[in-house]
Structure 1
Amino acid sequence: MMGFKALVMEQQGDAGAVAVLRDLEISALPEAEVTVAVDYSTLNYKDGLCLSAKGGGLVRNYPHVAGIDFAGVVEASDDPRYAAGDRVVLTGWRVGEAHWGGYAQKARVKADWLVPLPQGLSTRQAMAVGTAGFTAMLAVMALEDHGLTPEKGEVLVTGAAGGVGSVATAILAARGYQVAAVTGRPETADYLHALGASRIVAREELAETVKRPLEAETWAGCIDAVGGAMLARVLGQIKHGGSVAAVGLAGGSALPASVIPFLLRGINLLGIDSVLCPFERRKLAWARIAAELPMAKLESMVREVGLGDLPQLGADILTGAVQGRVVVDLNK
């Protein structure tokens, strides 16, 4: 195995860490069972934090390679579950945070963290999906596990122009749901309609802190990437027995809500954790992604970049300036 290129976060004194393109030897990789030649990675909100000067509170040790997900081909394995030539995908397990991640042409990780790539899904498509799309599918699965069907009414998606929201909108629409997409950027309306949104809801309509614990029953379910006051407001608008899948906190981690919607309408607030999701659930989610996500719509979300573009894009995603999905070509 040859040396490889990597975007390495290096500590620069009190100023914090900076991203530097380096040529590394295989011996620089951490110890683990499986070595992967990485084809593609992607950019998520957590990656933006890890690429910041202070590591967003997620990175403890430097030098460090960020990138919380990747897809590629196994080069070597000490675990019988994987052999050279196998195509694999990795999301979560604090890779890219506590463990070196996907912003390098090579990665070495635990076999338990990998999932075989489903037939029909390329490594590039897997990273067009990435952690964001994987999380979106977990959210759809959780809502349906709790009784959501298209016949029950509109499903709200907050932060709809972001990574999770974009894929969630496309998946729900493909499954026959009427999707109401929430965005604070009016210029994304055409993009969201193309993904399958049946209507656009201005963020301002839901951003105000809840004043009444119950409002009109409006949404059969919701995938919420915002949290904070918006999530509190949405809880009071969910139909009886409906559910909200919480996937993010772009609007804050506090929840100024009442228990009344839970007690009088029997609604469910479902936490979606993609980081420590068990293997069998992961495998099912990836199989459903391969079968159900419209790939033409997926491609319409994608912007392809190289390692050198990531420092600026990492800053951009933290301010909400990144639309859709960013795919990182490790050989670009």
Structure 2
Amino acid sequence: MFKAILVNKDDQGYRAEVSHVEEASLPEGDVTVKVLYSTLNYKDGLAITGKGPVVRSFPMVPGIDFAGEVIASSSSDFKAGDMVLLNGWGVGEGHWGGLSQLARVKADWLIPLPKGFTAKQALAIGTAGYTAMLCVMALQKHGLKPSDGEVLVTGAAGGVGSFSITLLSKLGFTVVASTGRMSEADYLKKLGATEIIDRAGLSAPGKPLAKERWAAVVDSVGSYTLANACAQTKSDGAVAACGLAQGMDFPSTVAPFILRGITLYGINSVTVPRAKRIAAYEQLSKLVDLKTLDEISHEINLEDAIKYAVELMAGNVRGRLIVNVNQ
């Protein structure tokens, strides 16, 4: 038996609870992992609270991230005792995920625990930090340089936003942070933001084209925020979009794209090939100050994850929540 958060939907309604589960109930896969840490991401909040239809079958163990030790493997890629990391691949949505003391998954979904990080540190980064790195890599591929001007980061106090700020500032960019929590200004400046702006200026309907300001944007919000960010991006600039906290709609026009030549990069962190994942973590190992992880992350136990998921959906969580599944 092992402990896990189980999400169920039946005649009793939609509910999430910490349960004791038999190992025989684990789904199919060629690698079984003793999970050490998982995390709470936006998708996990949706899965646990039922505020979004992300869970595709029931019962489901949420948790789109985990790190731990291989205890059994029929794959030549991994053996018992190997430390591994998983981000995405639909776990916690269509396949049991990491908010559990045991997980069984496909070997193709795993990468070796990145060098330079403990399991806890890798999960302090998690999907949020790894997605932020993919956003930054897209801007680097675009050719963006610090001398090109300011970079806007929306949803700045969240996990992706927090990491985007610290990564971009470490690379020498001038970062402007947009947030609905102006009380977090000191935290955001400590991460490397030079200016904090209220999200209200971006989250309402705006003009198809606005005054050019941003050389680039990292957006985890979507909807009007993404539309306004595009409308304010400089000619030949780039926007990396990776989230939909405000909404998955995109109420914009083609004007920023055909009149200013901006590029919109869609960042999909879920099914990225192993080689690109490893490359992202190699950059993260060079750019992330381990002390900064303490600023960005907060450890909780499995029992508390459900109540924190509610707070996450209410927008009351700063940075990253690491879940110690064995406490």
The normalised TM-score by structure 2 is: 0.97
Written as runs of structure 1 = structure 2, the 5 A alignment for 1:37-56 is: 37-52=34-49, 54=50, 56=52
Q: Is the 8 A contact 1:8 1:20 kept in 2?
A: yes
How far 1:69 sits from its partner (Å)? Answer: 0.8
Which consecutive segments of 4 or more residues in structure 1 shift more than 6 A?
Answer: none
Match of 2:265 in 1: 270
| d(CA) in 1 for partners of 2:263, 2:321 | 32
CA contact (8 A) 2:114 2:122 kept: no
Q: Which whole-Å CA distance do the structure 1 matches of 2:232 and 2:56 have between them? A: 41
User: How large is the Cα RMSD of the aligned pairs?
Assistant: 1.3
**How far is the alpha carbon of 1:24 from its aligned partner?**
2.5
Change (3 A) 1:208 1:10: closer
Equivalence for 2:285: 290
Measured after TM superposition, the shift of residue 56 of structure 1 is: 2.6
Q: Would the aligned equivalents of 1:228 and 1:251 in 2 still touch at CA under 8 Å?
A: yes
Pick from 4, 11, 34: which aligns with 1:6? 4
Q: Deviations over 1:74-113 (max 9, x none)?
A: 1111001101111111011100110000011110000000
Alpha-carbon distance in structure 1 between the residues aligned to 2:34 and 2:286? 25
Match of 1:110 in 2: 106
Unpaired segments ≥5 residues, structure 2? none
Q: CA deviation at 1:12?
A: 4.8
Q: Is the 8 A contact 1:174 1:294 kept in 2?
A: no
Q: What is the match of residue 19 of structure 1?
A: 16
Q: Distance in 2 between matches of 1:60 and 1:230?
A: 28
Shift of 1:10: 3.2
Residue 141 of structure 2 is aligned to residue 145 of structure 1: yes
- Percent of aligned pairs sharing the same letter: 49
> Higher mean Cα deviation, 163-172 or 257-266?
257-266
Report how far residue 22 of structure 1 moved.
2.3
Match among 30, 45, 61 for residue 33 of structure 1: 30
2:75 and 2:55 mapped to 1: Cα distance?
28
1:15 partner amino acid: G
Q: Distance in 2 between matches of 1:252 and 1:24?
A: 35
Tell me if 1:90 matches 2:65. no
1:276 aligned partner, one-letter code: T
- Equivalent in the alignment of 1:240: 235
Q: Which moved more, 1:6-15 or 1:90-99?
A: 6-15
1:54-73 aligned within 5 A: 54=50, 56-73=52-69
Q: C-alpha separation between the residues in 2 aligned to 1:207 and 1:26? A: 46
- The residue number in structure 2 matching 1:253 is 248
Shift of 1:252: 1.4
Distance 2:172 2:99 in 1: 36
Question: Residue in 1 aligned with 2:316?
Answer: 321
Assess, with a 3 A threshold, how the Cα gap between structure 1 residues 252 and 55 changes in structure 2: closer, same or farther: closer
How far apart, CA to CA, are the structure 1 residues paired with 2:248 and 2:100?
32
Query: Structure 1, residues 140-189: CA drift from partner, whole Å, max 9, x if none?
Result: 00111011111111110000001110111111111111110001111100
For 1:101, the aligned partner's letter is G
What's the CA shift for 1:115?
A: 0.9
- Relative distance call for 1:20 and 1:236 in structure 2 (3 A) is closer
CA contact (8 A) 1:50 1:66 kept: yes
Superposed CA offset, 1:229-252 (max 9, x none): 111111121111110000111111
Q: Give matches, 1:67-216, under 5 Å.
A: 67-211=63-207, 213-216=208-211
Moved more, 256-265 or 165-174: 256-265
Hey, what's the Cα distance between the residues in 2 that align with 1:161 and 1:76?
A: 38
CA distance in 1, matches of 2:205, 2:229: 10
Task: Structure 1 unaligned segments of length 5 or more: list them.
Answer: none
**SS of aligned partner of 2:276:** helix
TM-score by length of 1: 0.95
For 1:28, the aligned partner's letter is S
The Cα shift of 1:13 comes to 1.5
Distance 2:61 2:250 in 1: 33
How far apart are 1:226 and its partner, in Å? 1.1
Contact 1:48 1:314 in 2 (8 A): yes
The amino acid of 1:67's aligned partner reads: G
* Partners of 1:68 and 1:170 in 2: CA distance: 23
